[in-house]
Amino acid sequence: MLVTSLGVAFGAYHWILGALSGQFQSSGSIGISMLLIIVGFQMLLQAIVLDVMDKPLVPLASLLRDDTRSIAAGGTA
């Protein structure tokens, strides 16, 4: 999110600066802004993919259920 926000802020700053001065912005400043926005978005998508792919092998509910049964039987957790 930080990289995407930096790209949006950089692009907005140069867009406002160009609008106030009446000059077009160079393709380099547009390219840097778009590069930061795209890289930040790709990093966000990759974080979502990693979160979805990293699923637990044993469901947490079954582990909790086993612990409560052993405590009820007089064992320790």
Average pLDDT, the chain: 84
pTM as predicted: 0.64
Could you give the CA distance from residue 4 to residue 38 in angstroms, rounded to a whole number?
7
Measured from the Cβ of residue 33, the count of other Cβ atoms closer than 10 Å reads 21
Name the band, by pLDDT with cuts 50, 70 and 90, for residue 73: low
Residue burial 35-63, b: 16+ Cβ < 10 Å; e: rest: ebbeebeeeeeeeeeeeeeeeeeeeeeee
